[in-house]
Amino acid sequence: MNSGPALAGSTPPPAHAPGCVVGLDVGGTGMKGALLDHAMRSLETVRRPTPRADGPLAVVDAITDTLLTLTALAAERDLPVHHAGVVVPGIVDEGLQRAVWSANIGWRDLPLAALLTERTGLRVTLGHDVRAGGLAERAFGAARGARNVLFVAIGTGIAAALVCDGEPVSSGGYAGELGHVVVEPGGRPCACGGTGCLETVASATAVAAAYAERAGRPVAGAADVAALAADDDPLARAVWQRAADGLADALATATSMLAPESIVLGGGLAEAGDLLLDPVRAGLERRLTFQRPPALVRAELGDWAGCLGAGLAGWRATGHAPANRRTGVPAP
């Protein structure tokens, strides 16, 4: 076990201090990390695969190594690292700073923040990847100024972040599981143990699998299906419309319950832009009657939203959060 550098951030930095925080977004397939200054500008970035096939302990090792790599890059610049924000998928209890459960990675009730602090010497704040992305979009991105926001990340899985009356909703880490709203009763089995969940219809994984099944040939991913749908391939159009309908069903339910002013779609599938937003927007409009119609927009921060949200949590933990402002998205 690497003992890491001396404990960073023992004294909170003054406002606008030199130095940086680490933001690290751990996904089911890859992780993205950055050194972020007080203006939320990226100074260094790192991308690495998430070795989930090797088990949860291998993922913890990879997170540790990535944090130490970023700390070393900061040392090369003579920059103090005041804090680290790490965000992960699954059920995360921010109050207890524990990774409660993740179907993608396989850990259960893991005191991840304390473990990473022990291994790296960094002060670590643990958060949920999608909630962090939603807070970043509200602070710096497509939902700036909105007090009621639903941020939906559509990738390997589907999850949402809720901001109600200006406050993020966590409910012990269980809030926001939009991907497990049933949109096709009696439909395909889901990894959660249910059937017909939104994830089985509209996740990037489900879109690629549905097209491969109908066409009798594999595709590299949902981006290929999007390209085929844009070229009016009838099978791709049918799969794409099914995904859009499932999203519209789930978003109509969320709108009735939460009345968001803004719904922000992010994640890999949202990279299709209007090809996704237009049918989802039309489907949502058809399903709403008396409800306040939300603005449906694409995320502005791309797949760096979670990393920026992790960095924002890191700065907030120092007691000197950066002012909400537009920020540059790190280069891939």
Q: What is the CATH number of the domain that holds 280?
A: 3.30.420.40
In a domain, 160, yes or no: yes
How confident is the model at residue 2, as a pLDDT?
36
**What HEC string does the chain produce?**
CCCCCCCCCCCCCCCCCCCEEEEEEECCCEEEEEEECCCCCEEEEEEEECCHHHCHHHHHHHHHHHHHHHHHHHHHCCCCEEEEEEEECCEEECCCCEEEECCCCCCEEECHHHHHHHHHCCCEEEEEHHHHHHHHHHHHCCCCCCCCEEEEEECCCEEEEEEECCEEECHHHCCCCHHHCECCCCCCECCCCCECECHHHHCHHHHHHHHHHHHCCCCCCHHHHHHHHHCCCHHHHHHHHHHHHHHHHHHHHHHHHHCCCEEEEECHHHHHCHHHHHHHHHHHHHHCCCCCCCEEEECCCHHHHHHHHHHHHHHHHCCCCCCCCCCCCCCC
The residue ranking higher by pLDDT, 38 or 156, is 38
In a domain, 48, yes or no: yes
**Could you tell me the end-to-end alpha-carbon distance of the chain, in angstroms, rounded to an integer?**
30
**Side chain identity at 157, as an amino acid letter?**
G
Number of domains into which the chain is organized? 2
The residue ranking higher by pLDDT, 248 or 332, is 248
Q: Do 218 and 101 share a domain, yes or no?
A: no
Percent of the chain with pLDDT over 90: 80
- Sequence-distant (6+) residues with CB within 8 A of 266 are 133, 137, 151, 152, 153, 154, 298, 299, 301, 302, 303, 305
Q: Is the predicted pLDDT of residue 327 greater than 60, yes or no?
A: no
In a domain, 238, yes or no: yes
How confident is the model at residue 332, as a pLDDT?
37
Q: Do 171 and 281 share a domain, yes or no?
A: yes
Q: Do 177 and 289 share a domain, yes or no?
A: yes
Q: Do 191 and 78 share a domain, yes or no?
A: no
Burial 116-128, CB ≥16 within 10 A → b, else e? bbebbbbbbbbbb
Stretch 10-30: mean pLDDT, rounded? 76
Per the prediction, the chain carries an average pLDDT of 90
In a domain, 123, yes or no: yes
Q: Do 163 and 118 share a domain, yes or no?
A: no
Q: Do 150 and 260 share a domain, yes or no?
A: yes
In a domain, 4, yes or no: no
Q: Is the predicted pLDDT of residue 4 greater than 80, yes or no?
A: no
Q: Do 221 and 281 share a domain, yes or no?
A: yes
Q: Do 123 and 185 share a domain, yes or no?
A: no
What does the pLDDT look like over 248-265, one tens digit per residue?
999 999 999 999 999 999
What does the pLDDT look like over 155-188, one tens digit per residue?
888 999 999 998 889 898 889 999 999 999 999 9
How confident is the model at residue 191, as a pLDDT?
84
State the pLDDT confidence band at 325, using cuts at 50, 70 and 90. low
In a domain, 307, yes or no: yes
What does the pLDDT look like over 187-246, one tens digit per residue?
999 988 899 999 999 999 999 999 999 999 999 999 999 999 999 999 999 999 999 999
In a domain, 13, yes or no: no
How confident is the model at residue 1, as a pLDDT?
34
Q: Do 295 and 307 share a domain, yes or no?
A: no
What does the pLDDT look like over 69-117, one tens digit per residue?
999 999 999 999 999 999 999 899 999 999 998 877 989 999 999 999 9
Q: Is the predicted pLDDT of residue 272 greater than 60, yes or no?
A: yes
Q: How far apart are CA 141 and CA 129, in angstroms?
A: 16
Q: Do 100 and 148 share a domain, yes or no?
A: no
Q: What is the residue range of 48's domain?
A: 20-128+303-317
How confident is the model at residue 326, as a pLDDT?
52
Whole-prediction pTM: 0.85
CB 171 within 8 A of CB 93: no
Stretch 291-317: mean pLDDT, rounded? 94
In a domain, 327, yes or no: no
Q: Do 111 and 146 share a domain, yes or no?
A: no
Q: Do 276 and 311 share a domain, yes or no?
A: no
